[in-house]
Amino acid sequence: MRKGKNAASVIKEIQAGDVAPVYLLYGEERYWHDAFGEALSVRFQGMVEILPGDETGWEDLRAMVCQLSFFGPRAHILKDAHLMPDFKGDPGIRSVAPGNCLVLSCPVKANPLGAKALSAWGKLGMQTVEATVPSFSEAVKWVRDRFSDAGLKASGEACENLVSITGRSIQRLSCETEKIRLYMATASSGRVTSRIVSQCVSEDPEKTAFGFVDAVAAKNGREALSEMAQLEGRGANPIMLLALLASHFVLLWRAKERMRNENTQGAIEKTLGVHVYSARKALKQSKLWTFQELEDAVSTLCRVDESIKTGRTDPSSGLRFAVLSLCYMRAAKRDL
């Protein structure tokens, strides 16, 4: 199945006056579904009708899009269009009135139309548009462009930190960049730094625990326990945090091993198989650990995981023990 066009690029086309008669907009990034409606509202001067997919029948839809309104061209946005009965079949719409526009908005991961429906809609000039969650690099570029549009300069590290903390959802990034923009209105400098990002952005404990993991990797026990307490206070699962630590320490081992065999930092970053930002951080942190310490750390995390899963230790106590063991590696060891 042919890949759809990027939502951001199609919105720019609409803003420039290039509007297709029919759009199939699918993907889980709801920001683009909302932005699509806003762009059409401006283009059609508010003459936009929102229709619920689970309450709209094909006969009513045909009447709306096939006939030109007395008030002129209109845009019709069918929300949750995939909930319409027989959505994958032939819609029976053979024409769209000149100037009218129909958007089939489907906030689902995959293209929901069947081959028969795609063929029928294609004859009407339908454009397929993807409203997908961007890659890390695409999200970073979006953040940088967003700050630039607001007249702000942001360091590459600040943009990467923002995406790392909030995740790649444009919906969430839009809220956080706006928060930083408002903060910067009272700042003496127009440059967004990593420090400002840390001050302004709210972390989601289910998506990120970078401060906690970094504190343990830096062997900062006090900071690690403080971060752990904050995360658990916001509902983070100790078992999830333990898994993140295990994954990170395996990465530190691989980074340290690559440094012994590779000639350049760039080559190491590529062979680690993670984003360049994560690779750089792992290379830096791995220098604080010997191979024996990393081996002991992974072994400790495995023992704690087993102890929790067999019921011998409660998750919170097990995580605390692991953090203290890793941060104070040379302290006397004991079994759980």
172 and 250 both lie in a single domain: no
Gyration radius (Cα) of the chain, Å: 26
Using the predicted structure, report yes or no on whether residue 187 has a pLDDT greater than 80. Answer: no
79 and 147 both lie in a single domain: no
What are 110's two structure tokens? 């995959």
79 and 114 both lie in a single domain: yes
- Whose tokens are 């300069």? That residue is 153
Tell me, yes or no, whether 333 lies in a domain.
no
188 and 140 both lie in a single domain: yes
The model's pLDDT over 242-298, given as tens digits with 9 standing for 90+, comes to 988 998 999 898 888 888 776 566 666 566 666 666 778 888 899 999 999 999 999
101 and 150 both lie in a single domain: no
The C-alpha atoms of residue 23 and residue 30 are separated, in whole angstroms, by 16
What are 128's two structure tokens? 């397929």
End-of-domain residue from the set 82, 105, 130 = 130
Using the predicted structure, report yes or no on whether residue 165 has a pLDDT greater than 90. Answer: no
Tell me, yes or no, whether 309 lies in a domain.
yes
Residue 35: pLDDT band (50, 70, 90) is very high
- Whose tokens are 């971060």? That residue is 227
Q: Give me the pLDDT at residue 266, please.
A: 62
Tell me, yes or no, whether 57 lies in a domain.
yes
126 and 143 both lie in a single domain: no
124 and 82 both lie in a single domain: yes
pTM: 0.58
Tell me, yes or no, whether 332 lies in a domain.
no
Give the helix ranges, DSSP H, for the chain. Answer: 7-15, 30-43, 58-66, 115-122, 136-149, 156-166, 170-184, 194-200, 210-217, 221-233, 238-261, 265-271, 276-286, 291-309, 315-327
- 3-class secondary-structure state, position 304: helix
| Percent with pLDDT over 90 in the chain | 37
End-of-domain residue from the set 200, 223, 252 = 200
The C-alpha atoms of residue 87 and residue 316 are separated, in whole angstroms, by 48
Q: What is the DSSP letter of 2?
A: P
The model's pLDDT over 277-286, given as tens digits with 9 standing for 90+, comes to 677 888 889 9
16 and 118 both lie in a single domain: yes
9 and 126 both lie in a single domain: yes
Tell me, yes or no, whether 336 lies in a domain.
no
Q: The domain that contains 63 carries what CATH number?
A: 3.40.50.300
User: In terms of residue numbers, what domain contains 92?
Assistant: 5-130
Domain count, the chain: 3
Q: The domain that contains 190 carries what CATH number?
A: 1.10.8.60
Q: Of the candidates 112, 151, 104, 126, which has an alpha carbon nearest to the alpha carbon of residue 19?
A: 126
Q: What is the DSSP letter of 188?
A: S
* Torsion of the alpha carbons at 266, 267, 269 and 275, rounded to the nearest 10: 90
14 and 98 both lie in a single domain: yes
End-of-domain residue from the set 100, 130, 160 = 130
Q: Give me the pLDDT at residue 3, please.
A: 65
Using the predicted structure, report yes or no on whether residue 53 has a pLDDT greater than 70. Answer: yes
- 3-class secondary-structure state, position 85: coil
Tell me, yes or no, whether 303 lies in a domain.
yes
Using the predicted structure, report yes or no on whether residue 335 has a pLDDT greater than 50. Answer: no
Tell me, yes or no, whether 17 lies in a domain.
yes
What are 51's two structure tokens? 């229709």
88 and 21 both lie in a single domain: yes
Q: Which strand ranges, in their side-by-side order, compose the sheet holding 22-26?
A: 5-6, 126-130, 22-26, 101-106, 75-79, 48-52
Using the predicted structure, report yes or no on whether residue 6 has a pLDDT greater than 50. Answer: yes
Angle, CA of 328, 333 and 336, to the nearest 5° = 110
Q: Give me the pLDDT at residue 317, please.
A: 93
Using the predicted structure, report yes or no on whether residue 184 has a pLDDT greater than 50. Answer: yes
68 and 100 both lie in a single domain: yes
The C-alpha atoms of residue 125 and residue 23 are separated, in whole angstroms, by 9
Tell me, yes or no, whether 335 lies in a domain.
no
- Cα–Cα distances (Å) from 189 to 147, 192, 195, 198, 214, in that order, read 14, 8, 13, 16, 28
Q: Give me the pLDDT at residue 280, please.
A: 80
* Torsion of the alpha carbons at 178, 183, 184 and 186, rounded to the nearest 10: 140
